[in-house]
Each structure stands twice: as structure tokens, then as C-alpha cells.
Amino acid sequence: MKGQVFKIHSDFYYVNFENKIYECKMREILKKQKAKILVGDFVEFDFINDKSAVIQKILPRINYLTRPSVANISQVVIVSAVKQPDLDLEQLDRYICFAKYHNIKTRLCFNKNDLSKDDKIIEEVFSIYEPLGFDIIFTSALENIGIDDFKEILVGETTVFCGNSGVGKSSLINSVFPELNLKTKDVSEKTLRGTHTTRHCEICEADNIRIIDTPGFSNLKFDFIMPNDLCLLFDDISKYSKHCKFRDCTHTNEIGCEVVAHIHDIAPSRYESYKKFLEEAIQFKERIKNEGNKKEAFLKTSHNKNFAKISIQKRQTSRNNVKQQIYKDIQDE
């Protein structure tokens, strides 16, 4: 049977098949192949007995995100809070670039609009992100402000929410699906930061709207990309960078850099985010240069199928056993 994983808890995978939920385990061969099942994956599963089912195969993905770990989505909605916690433009740019890296349509939602009495924040957001082509929605889950517009961008889509803890992702889902009554928490008065409420990814579905609720996270670094490729994640920088004098330009202080020449046409917060991410990318490049990036493969491919590969250490042990057996046979003779 073919179904979709809508929730993962511990070692159990909950698969939706014809509006029924089946609790499944992963087949042992998939574990040996280091396969990773994500929420949103379409899988083939079978029954072992009346109570137990096992996932036999992971079907090809349309796309995926590593953080949060989800697959087969049509858009990302990045949820930020206008207040409590305060709006963090650098963190917002991290989410935007991460979605851009995975080539997934992105929309921006700024929640808790009822807490802000300062229109400067709204003006700043529109001045920075509207020229970049983003759909921007301001909402208040508490006061039910902007919820109708928010629902419109969700209809017919499989949407994953990204954002820090405490920005109101679960509250927004409760506004869309009141019957779910997801658990919510207030921002910590001591740290002024959100506390973790959602513990795992889960698909919520009704009225042609599919939302994947995810735990909040902020520890997202660009330690997986080369410095020269980073500017491609910034549309407002890449349109100038392709005209730079040098191919390895970092777009910070080089002579003949088109980005530096047009620095006043780029929002200061966006350029600061770029320089911060660039430091992380440079550190990544230095690390793989010094340590090397060669790793022994755990899989081998034959006839378009993946098989678990015996490690070097185990292969050497096996060879030693063979040699010992040969010497023993010679002595016996």
C-alpha cells in the first residue's frame, strides 16, 4: 500500500492511507542503508500481522528541507513576530536563503501585529522585502487580524511553517483549524524568547489546506555552501555580483566589485546578513580544505538499487580470517 507519512514519533512512522492512520516501523534493510524518512514522504508499506506494519520503500521526493525535516511541500511560510520576541531580520534572512537554496516558493508572515504600536516596523519590512517579490502578510492570531488573507495563501498548497519558537506558529494553525486546539505557550519573561511548544513535525489537513507544523529553531548556519555561491541566495546582491571584475569576488572590499558600487541600493540589514553568512561559508571552506571531505561510502549501487556496504575494518577482519584458515589447512596437510 502507498501512503504519506504525516507524523514521526520516536521510531514509529504514522502513515495516512485512504484517511486511515497506520503505525509503521522502518524495514531493517532501510536502516542499514542509512535511509531517512521525513514527514511528507510517500512510502510503500505492508502488514506483518494484524497489528504491525513496516515501511518497505521510500518513493521519490519532489523536494525536501533538512531543517525542518520535511518533504514534498509546495511552499514555505516563514513566520516572524513583530514583538515578543522582537523581530530579528538576520534570522529571517537565514530562513529565506535556506528556502532559496532548496528552490521552494516562500511567503512571509509577521504575526502578533496587535502588540506593535510602531508603524516603522511595518514600513521597514515592506521597504526591504516587497521589492524582492515576497508576498507579505501581517496577522494577529490573538485578535483574528489578517487570518482570512492568511487562509487564502494556504488553499491548495502543502505548506511548511518555519520560524523561531514563540512567534505564534501553533496559534496561527489554531486560527485556521480551531478543532485542533494545539498547545501554545507565552514568551519567557526572563529571557524574552519563545519556549518550545511543538515537539515534532506533523501534517494538519482540512478544507483543501495542508499545513506542516514544525518545532521552532534558530541554530541555522551556512556551513554547507561555498563562499562564491552564497550571493546566489540573495537576489538583491546577485543581480550586481554577476558583473563583478573578479570571479572569486567576495563582494566586501574588492576593487571593481559591482556590489560595493551599488551598496546604497541594497538594504543595510540584508548586506549585514550576507557578510555574516559569508563568514560561516568561509569557515566551512577552510574546514574541508584542512580536513578533507572524503568519507567511506556506506552504500553501493548495483542495477539502480542501493545496498549496504561492508566497512573497511570489517572487510579487513574477514580477510584475516581467510588467511588464518589457509595457513591452518596448510599445516594440517
Residue (of 233, 235, 305) closest to 276 by Cα position: 233
Task: Answer with the one of 29, 60, 91 that is the final residue of a domain.
Answer: 60
Distances (CA, A) of 277 to 139, 223, 257, 280: 29, 9, 19, 5
Alpha helices by DSSP H, 130-267? 147-152, 169-176, 227-230, 235-241, 258-261
> Do 85 and 155 fall into the same domain?
yes
Q: Residue 183's pLDDT is what?
A: 56
How does pLDDT run across 238-251, given as a tens digit for each residue?
A: 999 999 988 889 99
Whether residue 26 contacts residue 1, with contact meaning beta carbons closer than 8 Å, is answered with: no
Q: Measured between alpha carbons, how far is 130 from 124 in angstroms, rounded to an integer? A: 10
Tell me the sheet residues that pair with 204.
Answer: 211
Question: DSSP 3-state assignment of 299?
Answer: strand
Cell representation of residue 164: 523561531
> Do 273 and 203 fall into the same domain?
no
For residue 139, being part of any structural domain is answered with yes
Q: Residue 168's pLDDT is what?
A: 84
2 contact partners, CB below 8 Å, separation of at least 6: 17, 42, 43, 44, 45, 59
Mean pLDDT value of segment 211-218: 75
> Do 323 and 269 fall into the same domain?
no
Mean pLDDT value of segment 63-70: 87
CATH classification at residue 262: 1.10.40.50
Mean pLDDT value of segment 184-195: 45
Q: Measured between alpha carbons, how far is 323 from 326 in angstroms, rounded to an integer? A: 5
For residue 52, being part of any structural domain is answered with yes
For residue 222, being part of any structural domain is answered with no
Environment class of 17 (CB within 10 Å of its CB; exposed 0-12, middle 13-18, buried 19+): middle
Which has more pLDDT, 47 or 264? Answer: 264
Cell representation of residue 111: 504575526
Q: Measured between alpha carbons, how far is 52 from 179 in angstroms, rounded to an integer? A: 30
> Do 123 and 201 fall into the same domain?
yes
For residue 220, being part of any structural domain is answered with no
CATH classification at residue 34: 2.40.50.140
CATH classification at residue 112: 3.40.50.300
Tell whether the torsion through CA atoms of 250, 252, 257 and 262 is positive or negative.
positive
> Do 181 and 136 fall into the same domain?
yes
pLDDT score of 252 more than 50: yes
> Do 275 and 181 fall into the same domain?
no
First to last CA, the chain: 58
Cell representation of residue 197: 511548544
> Do 72 and 154 fall into the same domain?
yes
Which has more pLDDT, 311 or 202? Answer: 202
Environment class of 203 (CB within 10 Å of its CB; exposed 0-12, middle 13-18, buried 19+): buried
> Do 54 and 70 fall into the same domain?
no
For residue 219, being part of any structural domain is answered with no
**pLDDT class of 99 with cuts at 50, 70, 90:** very high
Q: Residue 194's pLDDT is what?
A: 40
Task: Answer with the one of 60, 82, 103 that is the final residue of a domain.
Answer: 60
Most confident of 176-185, 217-226, 256-265, 287-296: 256-265
Q: Measured between alpha carbons, how far is 98 from 189 in angstroms, rounded to an integer? A: 30
For residue 241, being part of any structural domain is answered with yes
Question: DSSP 3-state assignment of 199?
Answer: coil
Task: Look at the chain and count its residues.
Answer: 333
> Do 203 and 96 fall into the same domain?
yes
Domains in the chain, number:
4
> Do 186 and 261 fall into the same domain?
no
Percent with pLDDT over 90 in the chain = 48
Full-model pTM: 0.78
Rounded to the nearest integer, the mean pLDDT of the chain is 84
pLDDT score of 150 more than 70: yes
pLDDT score of 73 more than 70: yes
Domain carrying residue 303 = 299-332
Mean pLDDT value of segment 174-180: 80
For residue 221, being part of any structural domain is answered with no
Mean pLDDT value of segment 154-166: 89
> Do 87 and 207 fall into the same domain?
yes
> Do 55 and 72 fall into the same domain?
no
